[in-house]
Amino acid sequence: MDGILLVDKPVGITSNDLVMKIKKILKKKVGHTGTLDYAASGLMILTVGKATRLTEYFQGLDKEYITTGELGKITSTYDSQGEILEEKECDISEEELRSIILSFQKTYPQMPPKYSSKRIGGKRAYQLAKKGLEVELKPKEVSIYSIQILKIDIPFFTIKVECSSGTYIRSLVKEIGDEAGCGAYVKELRRTKIDDFSVEDAIPFEQLINMRKEEIQELIIPIEKALKNFEEIVLDPGFDKRFLNGQRFRIPKELPVRTFVKVFSDEGKFLGIGRIKEGNILQPEKVFK
């Protein structure tokens, strides 16, 4: 079956290693729609089979994380995997810390960590950083939609963050520490949601690798159900071949320009992804013959 698989990644494995192990079991093409740090756990959306062609449609989705930061320590990677570069006394009240944390509910230019997957001249930033080379990163505008303070027990604080794609929680925690005057690093990090997909519906990786291929296939969400935010279009008889051959044509259903749509034949077969152009023209983007 082609579709997506929701996996609960544990701490202590890279996203790529996780993908390779599942690929070996399924003996099908498998990809991921966004990495999680080695020291982080939580939800990953894997694309399986033909769905690997749709990875781009899952990459820009909003995320939710729960993280615990520790004040007073600054590490090279902004998390527990890095070398402690500096330790400082942190003289701050709970009320002051709450105010600082909540002040980050905003849209602002965020600087990614040096140890990140950002590409610089064809190389990943972390690859350059590991070699001791200078890493010149540029800030990226991110949006922190909400921050819920779950617990404060100085020097530790635990928060739930809803944010835009591309937000680095490691950077956020460090920035909170910088505002507090003593630095901070991520002690624990867990991704709990990607758009409407929840880690509560994901299969723990440790359980997954002990399952048979047939059992895992039953957990795969079909492509047409996975793209739940897309509009649906059912073509009139005879238009399915035109769509599958990459032809553009006008459709009767009025939709905004640039809207992505799931396209079905009149018999209910999923044909692929299209995009609406000027004049209500349907442009095939990804077809599944």
List, for residues 155-213, the tens digit of each pLDDT value. 999 999 999 999 999 999 999 999 999 999 999 999 999 999 999 999 999 999 999 99
- The DSSP H or E segment spanning 22 is helix 15-26
pLDDT at 127 over 60: no
State pTM to two decimals.
0.90
What CATH class has 3-61+197-223?
alpha beta
- For 230-287, CATH number out of 3.40.50.300, 3.30.70.360, 2.40.420.20, 2.30.130.10 equals 2.30.130.10
pLDDT at 123 over 70: no
Name the percent of the chain lying above pLDDT 90: 83
Confidence of residue 125 (pLDDT cuts 50, 70, 90): low
pLDDT in tens, 56-89: 899 889 999 999 999 999 999 999 988 999 999 9
Contact 263/282 with Cβ under 8 angstroms? yes
Task: Output the CA torsion sign for 238, 244, 245, 250.
Answer: positive
pLDDT in tens, 28-53: 999 999 889 999 999 999 999 999 99
Helix axes 94-102, 169-180, angle to 10 degrees: 130
Buried b (16+ CB within 10 A) or exposed e, 8-29: bbeeeeebeebbeebeebbebe
pLDDT at 116 over 70: no
Q: What pLDDT is recorded for position 86?
A: 93
Beta strands 30-32 and 41-48, pairing class: antiparallel
Which one from 2, 37, 79, 240 is the annotated catalytic residue? 37
Residues carrying CATH 3.30.2350.10, the chain? 3-61+197-223, 63-187
Confidence of residue 264 (pLDDT cuts 50, 70, 90): very high
Cis peptide leading into 252, omega within 30 of 0? no
pLDDT at 132 over 80: no
For residue 154, count other CB atoms closer than 10 A to its CB.
16
Question: Residue range 139-166: average pLDDT?
Answer: 97
Q: What pLDDT is recorded for position 8?
A: 98
Q: What pLDDT is recorded for position 112?
A: 86
Structure tokens belonging to residue 254: 């009025």
Question: Residue range 234-246: average pLDDT?
Answer: 95
Q: What pLDDT is recorded for position 128?
A: 47
Please, how many CA atoms are within 13 Å of residue 83, restricted to the half-sphere of its CB? 3
Active site residue 37: yes
Question: CA-CA distance, 114 to 125, in Å (whole number)?
Answer: 6
Confidence of residue 109 (pLDDT cuts 50, 70, 90): very high
- Looking at every residue in the chain, the average pLDDT score rounds to 92
Task: Give the residue with greater pLDDT, 57 vs 137.
Answer: 57
Work out the end-to-end distance of the chain between its first and last CA atoms, rounded to an integer number of angstroms: 14
Residues carrying CATH 2.30.130.10, the chain? 230-287
- For 63-187, CATH number out of 1.10.357.10, 3.90.230.10, 3.30.2350.10, 3.30.70.2700 equals 3.30.2350.10
**If DSSP codes are grouped into helix, strand and coil, which group holds residue 218?**
coil
